[in-house]
Amino acid sequence: MTGKIGSTALGYPRIGPKRELKRALESYWADRSTEAELRETARELRIDTWRQLRDAGLDSVPGNTFSYYDQVLDTAVTFGAVPPRYAELGLGPLDTYFAMARGASAVPPLEMTKWFDTNYHYLVPEIGPDTRFSLADRTPVEQYREALEAGVTTRPVLVGPLTFLLLAKPAPGAPEPFRPLDKLPELLDAYAELLRELHRAGAEWVQLDEPAFAADRTPEQLQALGDAYRQLGGLSARPELLVAGYFGDFGEALRVLAATPVEAIGADLVTEPSAVDSLSGVPGLRDKTLVAGLVDGRNVWRTDLDRALTTAATLLGLAGEVAVSTSCSLLHVPYDVETEDIDPQIKSWLAFAAQKVREVVVLGRALKEGRDSVADELDAARAAIADRAGAARVRNNRVRARLDSLRPEHSQRGDYRKRREAQQKSLKLPPLPTTTIGSFPQTSDVRKARAAFRAGRIDRASYHQRMRDEIRRVVELQEAIGLDVLVHGEPERNDMVQYFAEHLDGFISTANGWVQSYGSRCVRPPILYGDVFRPAPMTVEWATCAQKLTAKPVKGMLTGPVTILAWSFVRDDQPLADTAAQVAMAIRDEVQDLEAAGIRVIQVDEPALRELLPLRAAQHGPYLRWAVSAFRLATSGVADSTQIHTHLCYSEFGDVIDAIVALDADVTSIEAARSRMEVLDDLNAVGFARGVGPGVYDIHSPRVPDAAEMTDLLRAALRSVPADRLWVNPDCGLKTRGYAEVEPALENLVSAARAARRDL
């Protein structure tokens, strides 16, 4: 008889509590350590994680959650989906894997994109008609054995076959009607083989993640889901199967799975609390274990355990067995709040991965042995929840009163034609004006100065002096290159969200709250815990410092409300729309102060507008309404003559294209160099008639484009956009590039604009 799942987590962070894996990877890539050393660090991290999860009291410990880079890439390698251009490099298995992740010599890496609506990025598998699936790599089996030897029985976690294929893209050159999903039957054979091997190794349970079904799916895809799990479930010798859906309501997929032989279904009951309703009356669920995702795997707040237990109680009659889990893998939260030296009251409201595991254990015990068995922990949780709900510091009545007093005209700018005239009179820009997206390369001097200031080695005055020196250098460079609208270069910003979080009330920053973004890259999202208020101007000093050095207009540079929310952990005690409006008010104050200080062009970046788009189309409308209102609230407090720019970091607008029109920015800069300006036709198709700056310089590559190439792009753009609306700029900020590339590239960009102007 197989053990019960009882209490578990769907996955765990793997970068290391002190980012040990990051350091080991980067040292291996830099040739400073050997493969054996990297493998040893990885092994120690895995073993520590398994033992910690077992010792914390989880009934079922997730396994195979380690990855050297990304779990989707791991899945591709496990099943032999290595595109020939990487296999042909003739490297060993680990270096072939890293070549797919990061590129090697002349071969660029696989494309990388966001994992659903999170800030984690996965590598996009390429599947073609010629892809031959097989069990090419046995890491999941080896790690099962490794855990067993370390004394821990694990439940290997795999990306499910449907999600894998739905996230893949057709290999280059695949004939037109081909879709990766066409290869499902072959892929299932390889999964079946892996399941049989895991069974032989002794695995009692295997978890297959199918988050792709928290998004809208076609009847055909749902049918394929049912067929796949009927087939895998029909294997004679296999582990018991847990199929986990997360990042939202599993919806129809739950009914489909309940009709297959899988033993357990994982449902996220946090993202959409109404998902609980869709569990009642599902035929077949009574024979299964429902793994209830009751602890938020993506946010950092302590769980209301009483409420979670009430929810669990309503589930008891619906499923054969109820187990408790996190709503998704804990990959998306930091390791341990206990290591943070932060305000003790706020700390008592928080739960990171280690604390969330404990919450799951407490919930599991309460269900099994009764609430009295964990009375102390339930009391402590109750007290923390009550303390947070009643805390004065979470509410700022002045902020609330200001928002209550807003009227529609606060989100409405004047007529665009009048704005344009007023702006042209004030700015006197040539046609095809040139500019950049904001940041200039962050030199090691700049980084060192910031670190020294942070560590108290230099005082505020000398830090500010260094920043002013840097701004002067950047302004002089832009003048020399001949750009039309200058920027101050953002040297004072560590990160475009963290900088603002550090200057706004209502946010707290962590010292060690790292979360994997991709590969060895981690981010430390700020925590937005209370009403947001701007105690003092945040950027005016830097923008005016730059403006004093030049007669050309300097563009003020701010991050928009949606992006600030997207890259922070946000409060869960009020609708996102309300939090966004508060952030928008703070940005609005800054916009107005910039204007009052003589800044005539202000850019409010919203690169994350599309990232927060809900997975289900039915929720797009409400989201886009509050997202657009927040942007408009932030940017509508200025005179017609002040030019508002926005910047978006992608070119596939699809579902957000109408929202981009609705933002009503005077100028929108977008990524376009790689898509050859096609995005302009998409914008025209919806009647977009404002300034637009399709990036002509792809800053994601170290390559310096020559002037002729950028002139061609501009000529292509001029076929869809009249010259009086077209701007000339790079794709994105220059922060990650070096001056050796940036200087010639910007010189070429200015020459290209001049050449294109001569055609007019």
Question: Which amino acids are annotated as binding site, given as ranges?
Answer: 19-22, 114, 119, 437-439, 490, 521-522, 567, 605, 611, 647, 649, 671, 732
Please, what is the minimum distance in Å from the beta carbon of residue 741 to ligand GLN? 15
How far is 561 from 224, CA to CA, in rounded Å? 40
Pairing of strands 521-523, 527-533: unpaired
Question: What are the backbone angles phi and psi of residue 219, rounded to the nearest 5°?
Answer: -55, -35
**If contact means CB under 5 to 8 A according to the sort of partner, which of ligand GLN, Zn ion, none does residue 13 touch?**
none
User: In terms of CB distance, is 360 or 501 closer to ligand GLN?
Assistant: 501
Q: What phi, psi does 482 have (nearest 5°)?
A: 95, 25
Two tokens, residue 474: 């950047």
Q: List interacting residues with Zn ion (CB under 5 A).
A: 607, 649, 732
Residue, CB closest to ligand GLN: 733
* 410 flagged as catalytic: no
Name the residue type at position 99: A
- Of residues 21 and 557, the one with the C-beta less far from ligand GLN: 557
Where are any strands of DSSP class E within 246-383? Answer: 264-268, 289-295, 321-326
Nearer Cβ to Zn ion, position 215 or 608? 608
Q: Which is nearer to ligand GLN, 487 or 515 (CB)?
A: 487
Residue 601 interacting entry, from ligand GLN, Zn ion, none, C-beta within 5 to 8 Å by type: none
Q: How many residues bind ligand GLN (CB under 6 A)?
A: 13
Q: Which of these ranges, 24-32, 147-155, 244-252, 727-735, lies near ligand GLN under the rule CB under 6 A?
A: 727-735
**Token pair 């986990």 is at which residue?**
244
Nearer to ligand GLN, 156 or 695 (CB): 695
In terms of Cα–Cα distance, which of 181, 190, 1, 153 is closest to 78?
190
In whole angstroms, give the CA distance from residue 708 to residue 70. 38
- Going by C-alpha positions, the residue among 650, 654, 686, 655 that lies closest to residue 668 is 650
Footprint on residues 399-458 left by ligand GLN (CB under 6 A):
437-439
Q: Which C-beta is closer to Zn ion: that of 285 or that of 745?
A: 745
Per-residue binding letters, 544-573, with ligand GLN (x by CB under 6 A): -------------x----------------
Summarize the annotated binding site for 5-methyltetrahydropteroyltri-L-glutamate as residue ranges: 19-22, 114, 119, 521-522, 567, 611
Residue of 471, 496, 670, 696 that binds ligand GLN (CB under 6 A):
496
Q: Beta 321-326 vs 289-295: how paired, if at all?
A: parallel
The two counts, helices (H) then strands (E), for the chain are 27, 20
Q: Which is nearer to ligand GLN, 68 or 650 (CB)?
A: 650
- Closest separation between CB of residue 657 and Zn ion, Å? 17
Annotated binding site for Zn(2+): 647, 649, 671, 732
496 contact choice in Zn ion, ligand GLN, none (CB below 5 to 8 Å, kind-dependent): ligand GLN
In angstroms, give the least distance from the CB of 454 to Zn ion.
26
Dihedral of alpha carbons 232, 234, 237, 238, sign: positive
Binding site partner of 663, from Zn ion, ligand GLN, none, Cβ cut-off 5-8 A by kind: none
Structure tokens of 304? 């209301």
525 binds ligand GLN (CB under 6 A): no
State the Cα angle at 530 between 528 and 536, rounded to 5°: 85
- 3-state per-residue secondary structure call for 510-557: CCCCCEEEECCEEECCCEEEEEEECCCCCCHHHHHHHHCCCCCCEEEE
Which of 257, 538 has the CB closer to ligand GLN? 538
The binder of 553, among Zn ion, ligand GLN, none, by C-beta within 5 to 8 A per type, is none
Closest CB 446 distance from Zn ion, rounded Å: 20
- Report in angstroms how near the CB of residue 607 gets to Zn ion at its nearest: 5
Which positions from 623 to 662 touch ligand GLN by CB under 6 A, shown as an x/- string? Answer: ------------------------x-x-------------
In contact, 34 and 84? CB cutoff 8 Å: no
Q: Which does 637 bind (CB under 5 to 8 A by kind): ligand GLN, Zn ion, none?
A: none
Q: Provide the H-helix boundaries in 370-490.
A: 375-390, 397-404, 416-427, 444-454, 460-481
What DSSP designation does 489 have? B
CB within 8 Å of 420: residues ≥ 6 apart: 666
- Do you know the residue count of the chain? 760
- Binders of ligand GLN among residues 589 to 628 (CB under 6 A) are 605, 607
SS (H, E, C) 460-479: HHHHHHHHHHHHHHHHHHHH
CA dist., res. 296 & res. 291, Å (int): 14
Q: Which of 410, 488, 503, 700 is catalytic?
A: 700
Q: How far is the CB of 439 from ligand GLN (least distance, A)?
A: 3
Catalytic residues: 700
Binding site for ligand GLN (CB under 6 A): 437-439, 490, 496, 557, 605, 607, 647, 649, 732-733, 735
